[in-house]
Structure 1
Amino acid sequence: MEKAIVTGAMGFLGFELCLAMLEEGLEVLAADSANAAGDRWLEVGRNSNITYQHLDQEVPEEAAKASVFINLYDYFTERKRSKTLKDISSFIEKNKKSFKEAAVLLPTVLSNRSGETELSDFLQFLEEQDITNQYSIYLPTLFGSGQPETFLFQQLLSKSDKEDDFVDDPRSAIYVKDAAQAVLHNGRSLESILLLSDDHDSWKKSLSLLEQAGPDRGEVQNYIDIIPQKLKHVGVKASLSFEEVLELQRKP
């Protein structure tokens, strides 16, 4: 059975990626910095093909030669503390000999509160690890059930007053479950790519469905674009309409 390791596995994208892997019949090691998997683990049920471990632990022998998905998307969009990034670095350094290949999952933009230097230093660290078959997958705004409140859609749905502080990339929005499937299927090419919605106005169309959005609420704030030049673009087809995804996101 094919094996995979996901860091940041309890995050918004990380958890959906674990679910997508289970649906494909992979054996998954979910690694995170939390002391326990938390309530989301109930969604997995009693699936014997997934196990949870803290990032402090070494990868067990049965997970050797697994594909690792280094989830920096959730780290930078959820604005987790730097200790988590240090935990990920330590996990990679201890276990890199167990990795068959490594996919780095990154947001397309960094918000003003996220650090270019922090990301640059981490990517330099990864290069120094000399992991075979290392590649990157860039993702824009992801939305759906469980979206963090750092994103504008969730702020509007929860009627947050944080009106000028969000991490969205207004150029594209993808349903998180579709993004997880696209990461899994396109990652097998071992090629760095940029995932974008097949609908070029996906973010604006989704925003327009939220009644609370005033005429200026979707004004684009300053952000740092980190998409490399000449990166291959891969379109992601929506499995649900914008209305259906936002309705799922409205549910508690």
Structure 2
Amino acid sequence: MERAAILGVYDFIGYSLCKYMLNDGVEIAGVHIASKHDKYFTEEKRMEIGRNANFSEISFKEWQATRTNEHMIISLYEQFNQDWMIEQYLNGIITKLENMDYSNQTLILILPAHLALKHEKLTDSQLELLRFIEKVNISILEIYLPTIYGPWQPEEYFFQQSLNYLEGESSIPVIAKWEWIHDALYIEDAVETIMELAESGKDGKYFFASGKTNLWRSCANELLGKQTELLLRKADRTPEINELIKVKILKNNEKISMGLKKQKEQYFRIMESKG
């Protein structure tokens, strides 16, 4: 892969994929989707990758108007958890996909785990995109991710909330209804596996999993200790995944203590830079 466009380049997954690919010498066109974190976090990320000669940033409108001839990665891992945002951009995404030439391109779609559930109640916007994907006659690599943790985890997620709570920066952490509490993967392990599948030329639907029991809860325990049980809702058994989606057990799983240490270190760097 020599060139790629990443929609959601400053999102958690998109940004990590971008850094990984830039390190491999891939030329990246980063499509920026505005969010409420733009004022600070986007600028920090922009400073990290903006100096790389292989990186160029374009707006969503520019991306819509540009004829695409590179591989496309669409990261909706966060957007589908913030439905107001996906509603804002959905029509533009579908129109762009309808007009793409897929003869020599790869399309990779990254989605949150709950969209892979067999009996999940989906919003209108979620259904609209998934139905579009089903009816188009193109090869797509669909990847469904559980909770991903590590540097730059969004503030809405329980582990990042816990760091804010422990430092007295926020109230008691709350688990969002969409957060996947049945498993967790470290960001670099997830990104590496995404790229392995992409480079292999495979298409299909894959649900990433650690292959370990209670990994999400183990991460929460590592952060909060005895407070964990007081804060967590009861976790039912892992819900049933759609049978058309293959479960992909990751070969590598970062040690929880090391992965959370890296998340903490980045958290404190940001806190220090914000003053």
TM-score interval (norm. to shorter): 0.7 to 0.9
Q: Which moved more, 1:178-187 or 1:41-50?
A: 41-50
Give the secondary structure class of the aligned counterpart of 1:228.
coil
Q: 1:144 is matched with which residue?
A: 150
Larger fraction in helix: 2
Shift of 1:135: 2.9
Give the secondary structure class of the aligned counterpart of 2:141.
strand
* Structure 1 portions without partners, runs of 5+: none
Shift of 1:209: 0.5
Give the secondary structure class of the aligned counterpart of 1:244.
helix
- Is the Cα contact below 8 Å between 1:78 and 1:150 reproduced in 2? no
Relative to structure 1, the CA distance from residue 86 to residue 230 in structure 2 (aligned partners, 3 Å threshold; closer, same or farther) is: closer
1:241 equivalent among 247, 255, 259? 255
Relative to structure 1, the CA distance from residue 169 to residue 179 in structure 2 (aligned partners, 3 Å threshold; closer, same or farther) is: same
Cα deviation digits, residues 20-41 of structure 1 (max 9, x gap): 1122222211112339963302
Q: 1:232 is matched with which residue?
A: 246
Q: 1:18 is matched with which residue?
A: 18
Query: Are 2:81 and 1:77 aligned?
Result: yes
1 CA distance for matches of 2:150 and 2:123?
27
Q: Which moved more, 1:200-209 or 1:114-123?
A: 114-123
Q: 1:195 is matched with which residue?
A: 208
1:183 equivalent among 194, 197, 206? 194
- Is the Cα contact below 8 Å between 1:5 and 1:69 reproduced in 2? yes
Shift of 1:57: 1.3
Aligned-residue identity in percent:
23
Relative to structure 1, the CA distance from residue 244 to residue 122 in structure 2 (aligned partners, 3 Å threshold; closer, same or farther) is: same
In the TM superposition, 1:55-94 aligns within 5 A as 55-58=60-63, 64=69, 66-77=70-81, 81=85, 82-94=87-99
Give the secondary structure class of the aligned counterpart of 2:231.
coil
Cα deviation digits, residues 69-119 of structure 1 (max 9, x gap): 12111212355522133443344345x126712121111116xxx953221
Relative to structure 1, the CA distance from residue 200 to residue 78 in structure 2 (aligned partners, 3 Å threshold; closer, same or farther) is: farther
* Structure 2 portions without partners, runs of 5+: 116-120, 166-170, 271-275
1 CA distance for matches of 2:178 and 2:185?
14
Q: 1:125 is matched with which residue?
A: 132
- Is the Cα contact below 8 Å between 1:147 and 1:154 reproduced in 2? yes
- Is the Cα contact below 8 Å between 1:4 and 1:27 reproduced in 2? yes
Relative to structure 1, the CA distance from residue 219 to residue 118 in structure 2 (aligned partners, 3 Å threshold; closer, same or farther) is: same
RMSD between aligned alpha carbons?
A: 3.0
1 CA distance for matches of 2:240 and 2:61?
29
Q: Residue type matched to 2:191 in 1? A: A
Shift of 1:242: 1.0
Shift of 1:239: 5.6
**How does the TM-score come out when normalised to structure 1?**
0.83
Relative to structure 1, the CA distance from residue 243 to residue 125 in structure 2 (aligned partners, 3 Å threshold; closer, same or farther) is: same
Cα deviation digits, residues 103-161 of structure 1 (max 9, x gap): 21111116xxx95322111122334554x312311110001111112211111111133
Cα deviation digits, residues 188-236 of structure 1 (max 9, x gap): 32232111114333212111111264313222479x9684214222222
Q: 1:3 is matched with which residue?
A: 3
Give the secondary structure class of the aligned counterpart of 2:223.
coil
Shift of 1:18: 0.8
Q: Residue type matched to 1:5 in 2? A: A
Relative to structure 1, the CA distance from residue 220 to residue 109 in structure 2 (aligned partners, 3 Å threshold; closer, same or farther) is: farther
- Is the Cα contact below 8 Å between 2:72 and 2:107 reproduced in 1? yes
Give the secondary structure class of the aligned counterpart of 1:28.
strand
Relative to structure 1, the CA distance from residue 216 to residue 109 in structure 2 (aligned partners, 3 Å threshold; closer, same or farther) is: farther
Relative to structure 1, the CA distance from residue 80 to residue 12 in structure 2 (aligned partners, 3 Å threshold; closer, same or farther) is: farther
- Is the Cα contact below 8 Å between 2:157 and 2:175 reproduced in 1? no
Larger fraction in strand: 1
